[in-house]
Amino acid sequence: MKHSFRKYFTVAFFVLTCFHLFSQSYDTTRMYRVMAKARRGEPITIVALGGSITQGSLASSEGKRWVSIVANWWKQTFPLSTITIVNSGIGATGSDFGVHRLERDVFSKNPDVIIVEFSVNDRKDIFSTETMEAIVRQIYNDARNPAVMILSLKKQDGSSAKIFHKVVADYYKVPFVNYADKIDSYIQKDKLKMSDLYVDGIHPNDIGMSYIARLMIEELQTIYNKLPIEYSSLYHNTILPKPLIDSKFDNTYLWGVNDISPIENKGWTTTSSGWHSNKINSEMSFEFYGNTISLLISSHNTLNRGKVRVWIDNQIPIRLNSYWSNVWGPSLNFAVIDSCLSDGKHVIHIKNIGKSVSYSKSAYFEFATILTASKHKIVHPVAKIRSINNTMLLSNNNTFELDASKSFDNSGIGKMFYRWYLLSKPNNSKAFIQNDTAVLSHIVPDVVGKYIVGLKVGNALDTSLIYSVELSARLANLSPTAIAGQDTVVATNSILTLDGSLSFDPENDSLTYHWSIVSQPVGSSTILHNNETAFPRFKPSIEGEYIISLEVTDQLSAKSKISKIRIIATSGNVESVVLNPGLSVKPSQAKNSYIIYYAITKNEKVLLTITQDQIKSKIFKVVDEIKSAGRYDVHTEMNSFPKGSYTITLTTPEAILSKKLVIK
């Protein structure tokens, strides 16, 4: 019931606010100061904050993105200045996540100009007004006094959060580029249709990007044309008006695995990408300060997803499900747990409660970030550790370098102190923390195994919670394995999401991905989008054969062998089909548990077996039935299997494939 007032408040709010505000003009003081600075030849930094359209998701090249085209206007208009453009667009995100990203992705770049674009991804309700207002308030409160512009876009069908953003722009007198309302008259004059501007109804193509840039540049040019010849005013309005909605998001924070440690953890695992669990009833909790807390969860349409129960303090829990039906993914989705708390200390509890749907293969749940907000700055000290490398080879020259400089104390009570702890180390290790009261410290590993280092910071009145990181020393490093997927048939001009998530590292190191188009038909200009992720997007422009490669690299820079797939593009409405049978094996999260992936090209009898190599006659039948064409995964619980070498064999009427597996 505590959120229901929004439904009744929204209509009255916009009737009154729009009536009074829509005719207001904006304040050019901040932009004048930036343009005058650029005219004098001083360097300028422009940051674009937004979603996938700002990121340039489906533009044919970086130079075709609206951000790049607008940057060129600045370079041409101010040739004496060095113009730096920072693209902080992240796909599938809105102003709710954007307001938490300001410190990390915007202010840390020392911006002179900030362009904000979230109107396509934002909800069409007053919450989007609240979070957009918070973005503007934080920008106006920043000591660098950057200029800000709000860009309002829309989907091909016309949907947009424009009205919920414009009231903010008018109230705070922010320049507002209204593409959502103006584009129709522009394309009508140019004898185009809205469909000519979009790839998929959401993401603009190169033509759409050029129109966005055109409207942005027209607005900038209008401001520049009115810039006084001798403008050197340092005046700017530093007094914010009373909030239009609320000030609860005036201070926001992002907490990742390198920023915060749980106060209790039963069964969750920490990786470089976040916290995850596939164990039912595993539970963890974090202490935080603020009035709002949210999670950034990983969602996908794979059948290994689970759900959790989340609650604050002793409140009624809510459920979060990490399975979604979208054909693309995975994606990080923003989930507000509670935005009506009192400013102060609270505890968030997260408990795995099982499979996302009844036919799921497991209960895997992952969240990448904890997000908090408060009306006031956090006053108690916060410990943060940055380790240059969390994994290394054991040698006389290798050292774990530890850095506490990202820890902070906003109380202003005296000088902050630091204390390092070696919470755990391997048996027989004599390692210890060097300089255990310094900002920069280190530890020299002397035995193979895990080292857990903790940090506390404090002031004269208070200390932080202890923050810990796990470090790993090993004798050797094994190369990862790249798995680019199966050869596939796809229709031309349809979007195909490639999947390299089956790639793995035998030591469970985090991986980086690099996809390339090895060859494509003559005349094709097809490119891969997001080719440094596990799930790049691919849109073949003409018929023919496309060869695509994948290479993965682990955190110790060991590279995999190249894995290649063949994509056959053909005209017409063609459902993607597997071209060749396939078989691969990947460790799951549980010890001695593996996932067997196989693909078949048609409906046929499938025999999948596991043979113990030392005892050839001992065969375990995993699958023995008729299956439809497609890709499958089988979770095998091999915990009771004896150590040794095994052969996994896929037998169909058209192929026999095998893979080796060693259980240590």
Is the domain defined by 581-664 classed in CATH 3.40.50.720? Answer: no
Separation of alpha carbons 298 and 333, rounded Å: 6
**How far is residue 527's CA from residue 520's CA, in Å, rounded to a whole number?**
10
Could you tell me the sign of the dihedral formed by the alpha carbons of 489, 492, 496, 500, in that order? positive
Q: Alpha-carbon distance 596 to 282, whole Å? A: 25
657: part of which helix (H) or strand (E)? strand 655-663
What is the share, in percent, of the chain residues with pLDDT greater than 90?
A: 48
Backbone angles phi, psi at 486, to 5 degrees: -105, 150
Contact 205, 162 (CB under 8 A): no
Most confident of 156-165, 443-452, 537-546, 625-634: 156-165
Task: Compute CA distances 449 → 159, 393, 396, 429, whole Å.
Answer: 54, 11, 15, 9
Nearest Cα residue to 579 out of 561, 595, 599: 599
- Residue 593 pLDDT class (50, 70, 90 cuts): confident
Say which residue, 2 or 467, is predicted with more confidence: 467
356: which residues sit within 8 A by CB, 6+ positions away?
A: 305, 306, 307, 321, 322, 323, 363
Other Cβ atoms within 10 Å of 559 Cβ, number: 14
DSSP annotation string for 323-362: B---SS--EEEEEEEES-PPSSEEEEEEEEEEESSTT-S-
Extract the tokens encoding 89.
Answer: 């667009």
Q: How many CB atoms within 10 Å of residue 537?
A: 20
DSSP 8-state symbol, 144: T
> Could you tell me the pTM of the whole model?
0.67
- pLDDT-derived band of residue 513, with 50, 70 and 90 as boundaries? very high
- Do 392 and 400 form a contact (C-beta atoms < 8 A)? yes
Question: CB under 8 Å to 572, separation ≥6 — which residues?
Answer: 491
Amino acid sitting at position 538: F
Q: Which residue has the tokens 């089956």?
A: 502
Predicted pLDDT of residue 327: 57
- Give the Cα separation of 134 and 249 in Å (integer): 6
Looking at residue 576, its pLDDT comes to 55
- 603 within 8 A of 629, measured Cβ to Cβ: yes
Average pLDDT rounded to a whole number, residues 198-212: 94
DSSP 279: S
With contact defined as beta carbons under 8 Å apart, do 26 and 173 qualify? yes
3-state secondary structure 225-261: HCCCCCCCCCCCCCCCCCCCCCCCCCEEEEECCCCCC
User: Are the CB atoms for 466 and 455 separated by under 8 Å?
Assistant: yes
Q: How confident is the model at residue 574 (pLDDT cuts 50, 70, 90)?
A: low
Query: Is 386-474 in the same CATH topology as 5-225?
Result: no
Question: Is the per-residue pLDDT at 64 higher than 60?
Answer: yes
143 neighbors 107 (Cβ within 8 angstroms):
no
Confidence class for position 84, pLDDT limits 50, 70, 90: very high
Choose the CATH number for 386-474 among 3.40.640.10, 1.10.760.10, 1.10.10.10, 2.60.40.10. Answer: 2.60.40.10
1.10.3720.10, 3.40.630.10, 3.40.50.1110, 3.40.50.2020: CATH of 5-225: 3.40.50.1110
- pLDDT of the residue at 17: 47
Domain extents in the chain: 5-225, 251-374, 386-474, 477-579, 581-664
How is domain 251-374 classified at the CATH fold level? Answer: Jelly Rolls (2.60.120)
Most confident of 140-154, 226-240, 388-402, 583-597: 140-154
CA distance 260 to 390: 16
Least Cα distance to 549 among 631, 483, 478, 480 occurs for: 483
Does CATH place domain 477-579 in 2.60.40.10?
yes
Does residue 530 come out as left (phi exceeding 0), alpha (psi in the -120 to 50 range) or beta? left
Distance between CA atoms of 437 and 512, rounded to whole angstroms?
Answer: 35
Per-residue pLDDT of 319-350, as tens digits, reads: 999 888 765 667 788 999 998 999 888 999 99
The pair phi, psi for residue 211, each rounded to 5°, is -70, -40
